[in-house]
């Protein structure tokens, strides 16, 4: 595992600025020798921490219960997106963002400590906007590229998002005190399949040398500069607003768009 770690360290030393966002699936991460599950998870983080050097690490700690009418408890709600992210939230991170559903935990200083009532998790004021401006890195540590939520940030800031519509979820954020909040979430049309062409998206980025893939045995790690992906996708969407979609989704979306001659609204589907 020394080879792939050294390659990653070299990439990070050349391209890292201050922050790295990590999506993880530890089954396809570094090969780890372990005696029990807790040691297995902890060792994955230790290896990542060494590889990422001095960068502040962020991981998703997404919890979807707010959309089911439950309060979001910043301190206590568990991450629902993997064992490493939950270990990191509980044992390593120094902060967790106050955004319901799409929240993150991280080391260093919380980039968005202030609570606001109306929250768009993917606009330029979001953590994605912060990482884009800071020229942060994105790493898929064993996880497939299809799990990147950066795509929703690009959709939002493109101002060409036709095939999703805004839906508001109101509830309570508890950070020691209760605060009323509205989550403005651009959702996929109800009862319709909406899928992205992840194979094409990954291939295009690899061909443009904007995404880097490191493989060794079962281990697979993808890494890129966030602003490179954002700028590339924005350019593609400017030419074709449906660029991100797979062929089947594109067919029905374009048909519906021609009927409406405008972006989709919640009243079109719900």
Task: Read off the pLDDT of residues 221-257 as tens digits, 9 standing for 90 and up.
Answer: 999 999 999 999 999 999 999 999 999 999 999 999 9
pLDDT band, very low/low/confident/very high, at 37 (cuts 50, 70, 90): confident
Strand order in the sheet with 211-216: 95-96, 104-106, 56-60, 19-24, 137-141, 219-225, 211-216
Task: Read off the pLDDT of residues 90-128 as tens digits, 9 standing for 90 and up.
Answer: 999 999 999 999 999 999 999 988 889 999 999 999 999
Task: Report the chain's mean pLDDT, rounded to a whole number.
Answer: 96
Q: Which one is predicted more confidently, 1 or 187? A: 187
Give CA–CA dist 240/197, Å, rounded: 14
Q: Which one is predicted more confidently, 31 or 169? A: 169
pTM of the complete model: 0.95
Would you say residue 1 has pLDDT above 80? no
Q: What is the pLDDT of residue 262?
A: 97
Q: What is the pLDDT of residue 35?
A: 76
Give CA–CA dist 194/60, Å, rounded: 23
Q: Is-contact 57 136, C-beta < 8 A?
A: no
Task: Read off the pLDDT of residues 158-208 as tens digits, 9 standing for 90 and up.
Answer: 999 999 999 999 999 999 999 999 999 999 999 999 999 999 999 999 999
3-class SS letters over the chain: CHHHHHHHHHHHHHHCCCEEEEEECHHHCCCCCCCCHHHHHHHHHHHHHHHHCCCEEEEECCEHHHHHCCCEECCCCCCCCCHHHHHHHHHCCCEECCCCECCEEECCCCCCCCCCCEECCCCCCCHHHHHHHCCCEEEEEECCHHHCCHHHHHHHHHCCCCCCEEEEEEEEEECCCEEEEEEEEEECCCCCCCCECHHHHHHHHHHCCCEEEEEECCEEEEEEEHHHHHHHHHHHHHHCCCCCECHHHHHHHHHHHHHHCCCCCHHHCC
Q: What is the pLDDT of residue 132?
A: 98
Would you say residue 2 has pLDDT above 80? no
């Amino acid at each position: 595992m020394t080879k792939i770690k050294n390659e990653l360290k070299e990439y990070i030393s050349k391209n890292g600025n201050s922050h790295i966002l990590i999506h993880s699936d530890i089954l396809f991460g570094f090969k780890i020798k372990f005696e029990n599950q807790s040691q297995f998870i902890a060792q994955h983080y230790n290896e990542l921490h060494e590889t990422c050097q001095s960068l502040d690490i962020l991981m998703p700690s997404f919890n979807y219960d707010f959309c089911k009418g439950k309060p979001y408890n910043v301190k206590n709600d568990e991450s629902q997106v993997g064992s490493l992210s939950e270990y990191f939230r509980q044992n390593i991170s120094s902060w967790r963002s106050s955004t319901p559903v799409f929240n993150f935990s991280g080391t260093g200083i919380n980039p968005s400590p202030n609570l606001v009532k109306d929250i768009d998790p993917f606009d330029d004021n979001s953590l994605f906007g912060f990482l884009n401006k800071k020229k942060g890195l994105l790493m898929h540590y064993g996880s497939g590229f299809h799990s990147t939520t950066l795509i929703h940030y690009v959709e939002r800031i493109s101002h060409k998002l036709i095939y999703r519509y805004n839906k508001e979820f109101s509830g309570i954020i508890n950070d020691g005190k209760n605060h009323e909040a509205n989550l403005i979430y651009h959702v996929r049309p109800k009862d319709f399949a909406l899928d992205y062409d992840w194979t094409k998206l990954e291939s295009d980025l690899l061909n443009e040398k904007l995404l880097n893939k490191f493989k060794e045995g079962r281990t697979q790690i993808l890494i890129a500069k966030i602003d490179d992906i954002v700028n590339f996708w924005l350019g593609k969407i400017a030419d074709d607003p449906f660029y991100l979609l797979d062929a089947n989704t594109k067919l029905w979306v374009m048909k519906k768009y021609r009927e409406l001659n405008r972006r989709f609204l919640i009243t079109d589907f719900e």
